[in-house]
Structure 1
Amino acid sequence: MDGKLILGIDPGLNTTGYAVIRRLDGATMHLCEAGVIRSRQRDPMETRLAELHAGVSEVLQAHRVDLMALEQLFSHYERPRTAILMGHARGVICLAASQAGIPVTHFEPTRVKKVITGNGRAPKSQIQQAVKLQLNLTAVPEPADVADAMALSLCGHYLGSGSLAER
Structure 2
Amino acid sequence: MRTDSSRIPNSFFLRDVTQVAPELLGKLLVRRFEDGTIQKFVITETEAYRGGEDKACHANKGLTPRTKVMFEKGGLVYVYLIYGMYWMLNFVTGEAGDSSAVLIRGIEGINGPGRVGRALQLDQSFYGENLGSSERIWVEDTGENPQFISAPRVGIDYAGEPWISKPWRYIVKESAM
Task: Check whether TM > 0.5.
Answer: no
Richer in helix (by share):
1
Richer in strand (by share):
2
TM-score (norm. length: structure 2): 0.26
TM-score (norm. length: structure 1): 0.27
